[in-house]
Amino acid sequence: MSVNLQTPIDYLKGVGPNRADLLRSELGIHTYQDLINLFPNRYIDRTKYYKISELQRNNAEIQVIGVITGFKEVAQKRGKRLVATFKDDTGTMELVWFRGQKWIRESLKTNIPYVIFGRANWFNGKYNMPHPELELQSEHENNLRSAMQAIYPSTEKLNNKGITNRVVTKIMQQLFIETKGNYTETLSENIKNELKLISKSEALFNVHFPKTPELLARAQFRLKFEELFYIQLQLILKNLIHKSKIKGFPFEKVSTYFNTFFSEHLPFELTKAQKRVLKEIRTDLGSNAQMNRLLQGDVGSGKTIVAFMSMLMALDNGFQACLMAPTEILSVQHYNGLYELCKLLNINISILTGSSKASERKEIHKNLENGELQLLIGTHALLEDKVKFKNLGLAIIDEQHRFGVAQRSKLWKKGPPQSSQREDAKTVRRKYMTARPSTYNLMKQFQHENKKNSTESERILWEVLRAKKIGYKFRRQHIIDEFIVDFICLEKNLIIEVDGDYHNTKEQQQIDELRTIILNEIGFNVIRFKNSQVIGNIDNVLNQIESQLKSLPSGEISGATPPHILVMTATPIPRTLAMSVYGDLDISVIDELPAGRKPIKTVHRYDNNRLNVFKFIRDEIKLGRQVYVVYPLIQESESMDYKDLMDGYESIVRDFPMPDYQISIVHGKMKPADKDYEMQRFIKGETQIMVATTVIEVGVNVPNASVMIIESAERFGLSQLHQLRGRVGRGAEQSYCILMTSHKLSNDSKTRLETMVRTNDGFEIAEVDLRLRGPGDIMGTQQSGVLNLKIADIVKDKDILKLARHHAKTVLKLDPTLVSLDHKVILDTYRQMSKYKNIWNYIS
């Protein structure tokens, strides 16, 4: 291609430095590539030319051919407007400009045919068109154009500076002229043929200048598929690389803890979905790769018991486990629930939160490091530097979307730290210093002297290893716990030693044997070769090394081997979003509720029904039930929400007076101890009503609570309403959720409330939420920009997304490294995307 698409936009004819600065700041267009990926928002049919006599009073966008017969300036309250009389053979209309009059009057000619385009208005008995697009008919006919007029994204600043849609169209035309419309193909012939896709060049031309609606549809399909295909390819490759490069501890057995719990202490029969998910987790934990799995499950689906049984697998293999939750309330609930189960199995469990006392922390830190503490539950406090595990094998993160990426990654570094490995190594060395003192001392004495002189065989082997001819990185004369080793592959914990001619004495052979024993005991494999083997047949030596490397799991001994990671969420994620945002994770879904659970009945009531609602509350309390009343809490208006909460609390106290009724109150401004005190009163049944903010959205488990009243329900998002509803329905009795609102409701609010009343299915609710809010809002500020798509829409194009993921999986299954000739174009495109991240940097 004659033009490089990475050329700065400044060099395109018709742009120049001023326009380039505006395009960069307003639309993020830096290069030719960015411009060609500026896809139209919509299209207008420009095949039809209207006569003035045919115009209708419908405020539609139309185009007319005619001539300007004259200009006049009309005074108005502020300044003047320029009015031109425009005429065709059937009548006249006015063209109106409120700014730029001088330039317009000088640049337009009278009595020469123009094609005008814009929105026709009916005003004072005639048609007018404000700020029309004008083009000489002679230029209009010669220009590169299409039947469907593309309308591009724009901003007020661009329009004010004269960069109108017409200008953007012109510079897009210039780009196609300079590149000759010839663009590098990015999809393989196999995919194109199977899906009957048009070429990349055809697709780009027809998306900007569609010749027919049919060609436009084919162009959009091709480009949407391509965009989603490469996102999926990137995610799936990331997953494959993760599994091949990031090794975890292989949990080789399911033993006493798991089996005893399953056969003797399991409080209920697991659902088929729970059994399926446990099997998926077991498979991950048994492999040599680090597990990186997302566990989705609707409210009340039984994720916690799956998490606990996964932790038992870690304990069965001699490792520790931890569970991190976003709030103290949820951490305490997890701890209380798991403590009873751990007591049955004689497992040492503890909890660490922000309010843990200094003496408790000290004890926890000590017992974690010496391995006595097997399970640790907690909040962000688990991420503190002082929290060091002896051998953390599994980390579970509950409601993971509430933690930042940096916070989550801290858990990766909580595996067996270097200090404890050093201690292990010292213990091993001390053992042999005592058992074989003379040989040990000679070994220490000889190793430094021997390493001063590099042998010919070492130099030969290093040249080959340094060139990575067998695909792994080696280091030379590396120090491991005070031993200098010839060559080491840290990824595989493999040491290669070359014995010089002086290794023939009995004394030296004993030293070699002791070195090998000690290095083996602190976690390394050692291969020894003689000088003659290396010099005589280097290929045979390499084959032996390669064979050994393939048989070994990965994982550097010098750092912490990362624990297996299981992230959980009770906020169902729509499948399309999960495929895009979490496409690099393995996903498990518990899509089945435990047997015997009655669906929660949800109703919508207006504020003027409050007396009837209060009567219903009294009836439920008479039956021995408990009630939540929740008020919204929106950060920007915390003081107003606090007032709402206190006003509501006072109103409820008046209607439910002591001593007949006891009421708890919980909100974010309370001290943790006070909050916990009120929560415990409600949990123990000492209070019948809990008035709260959304602090109880996740984690509160009171089976006797049967009514959830959500005040100002229109101010909540769908997922939050669903989470709050999930606080009831945890016992055997029928439960209810009452959504209280005013009569003033937006269309979106009505849709949310109707959805809540219609269904209890969290995944269906998530799909509606996705349609209403779009992927960006659902992911929240921590993951904004995750799906900054150029042309595809994961809500509207979910079928294309599924197709793209299917083909990406198929390609990588056949050819994981994309080395075959058929996939060369895909590999080249993927490399280009990686090189110029601003082109396709959609994954955060």
Question: pLDDT tier at 114 (50, 70, 90 boundaries)?
Answer: very high
Please, which pLDDT band fits residue 447 given cuts at 50, 70 and 90? low
* Amino acid sitting at position 629: V
Above 60 in pLDDT, residue 451? no
Query: Would you say residue 465 has pLDDT above 80?
Result: yes
Which range, of 216-225, 377-386, 449-458, 818-827, averages the lowest pLDDT?
A: 449-458
CA distance 408 to 413: 10
484 touches 447 (CB < 8 A): yes
Inform me whether the pLDDT recorded for 661 exceeds 90.
Answer: yes
Inter-residue contact 151 to 86 (CB < 8 Å) = no
> What's residue 781's pLDDT?
37
Span 308-360, pLDDT tens digits? 999 999 999 999 999 998 888 788 889 988 999 999 999 999 999 988 899 99
DSSP 665-728: EE-TTS-HHHHHHHHHHHHTTS-SEEEE-GGGSSS---TTEEEEEETTGGGS-HHHHHHHHTTS
Question: Which residue would you say has higher pLDDT here, 631 or 436?
Answer: 631
Residue 133 makes CB contacts below 8 A (sequence gap 6+) with 116, 117, 118, 164, 165, 166
Q: Does residue 404 register a pLDDT over 60? A: no
Tens digit of each residue's pLDDT (9 = 90 or more) over 54-105: 888 777 788 899 999 999 988 888 888 899 999 999 999 999 998 888 888 8
pLDDT in tens, 597-615: 788 999 999 989 999 999 9
**pLDDT score of 416:** 56
SS3 468: coil
Q: pTM for the complete prediction?
A: 0.61
Average pLDDT score over the chain: 83
pLDDT(449) > 70: no
**Residue pLDDT, tens place only, 555-573:** 444 445 788 989 888 777 7
**Confidence grade of residue 840 (pLDDT, cut at 50, 70, 90):** very low
3-state SS assignment for residue 237: helix
Q: Quick one: CA dihedral 329, 333, 335, 339, positive or negative?
A: positive
Region 289-296 average pLDDT: 86
Helix (H, G, I), strand (E, B) or coil at 626: strand
Structural domains of the chain sorted by starting position, each given as residue range(s) with its CATH number in brackets: 16-179 (2.40.50.140), 256-286+302-415+562-569 (3.40.50.300), 420-551 (3.40.960.10), 601-759 (3.40.50.300)
User: Tens digit of pLDDT for each residue in 259-291?
Assistant: 999 999 988 889 999 999 999 999 999 887 888
The four Cα atoms 783, 789, 795, 801 give a dihedral, to 10 degrees, of -110
In this structure, the chain runs to a length of 844
C-alpha span between 218 and 201 (Å, rounded): 12
Pick the range with the lowest mean pLDDT from 569-583, 774-788, 808-822: 774-788
Look at residue 355 in the predicted model and tell me its pLDDT.
Answer: 86
